[in-house]
Structure 1
Amino acid sequence: MAFTDTEITEHMQVLEESFWSRRRPPLHLRDKVREGQRFTDQSIELFFVRPAFMRPGEQSEESIAKIQHLPRLRVWRLFWKRADGRWHRYKPCPEVASLAAVLRVIDQDANACFFG
């Protein structure tokens, strides 16, 4: 079942307060680089949109992380995109109890999986 409009609003507030407010590109780059999130079913994908390398005038999405909510288990699962282009579970911390907690794990990026 997909997130409800109320849940999306709540999650957007948590995303802004716990993550984007610290990870947003600097003011002088915001006309070129912007943050984004995509809600699909019970998942949230975080990404940056920036100019495409060697393709003037084109934009490309750079994935940061994918977060999957499992309401029955009351957990959030964390995924990162490897060089193979597929999402893989983030083994150092595969599940957490809240959206704010999973955003802290991404922000800390202890293994340099999300921000290189």
Structure 2
Amino acid sequence: MALSEFELKRVERAVSAFMDRRRPPEHIRAKLDFGYRIDGQSLELFEIRPWFVDPTKVMERPLAKGTYVKSRGRWKIYWQRADLKWHLYKPEPEVNSVEAFLAVVEADEFACFFG
């Protein structure tokens, strides 16, 4: 089930503020930028760069994923390991809001999201 219209606006507002803080300066964005997508109940954050083999092509590297569990009103936090699978972020697997999810990602205490 997808996020409601109200929840979707809240997520977009929170992600927009996060991107304003985290995105690199305008002159660097052709070489490194950040993006996001909302798919159903999940919010995925990713890095955008030119592909090293062919710089005319762009590649995305996942940074973090938050999935909203509507029945519990909680966000589960995931990070992608070297096996390219999403794993629950053990230090803080769930939070109460999308803002809290983005705060955990931004703090990145264990270097799981930004490296």
Please, what TM-score do these two structures have when normalized by structure 1?
0.92
Distance 1:4 1:74 in 2: 13
- Matched with 2:10 is 10
Distance 1:110 1:91 in 2: 12
- Matched with 1:90 is 89
Q: 1:10 offset after TM fit, Å?
A: 2.0
Q: Structure 1 runs of 4+ off > 4 angstroms?
A: none
Distance 1:24 1:8 in 2: 21
Amino acid aligned to 1:102: F
Unaligned runs of 5+ in 1: none
- Matched with 1:47 is 46
What are the within-5 Å matches in structure 2 for residues 100-115 of structure 1? 100-115=99-114
Q: 1:21 offset after TM fit, Å?
A: 1.6
**More displaced 10-residue stretch of structure 1: 33-42 or 66-75:** 33-42
Please, what TM-score do these two structures have when normalized by structure 2?
0.92
Distance 1:85 1:58 in 2: 21
SS at match of 1:104: helix
Unaligned runs of 5+ in 2: none
- Matched with 2:21 is 22
Distance 1:68 1:39 in 2: 10
Distance 1:36 1:56 in 2: 18
Distance 1:115 1:35 in 2: 11
**Larger RCO: 1 or 2 (CA < 8 Å, sep 6+):** 1
Offset from partner CA, 1:75-101 (integer Å, 9 cap, x none): 100000000000000000000111111
**Does 1:34 pair with 2:33?**
yes
SS at match of 2:44: strand
SS at match of 1:103: helix
Percent identity for Structure 1 against Structure 2: 43
Alignment: residue pair count: 115
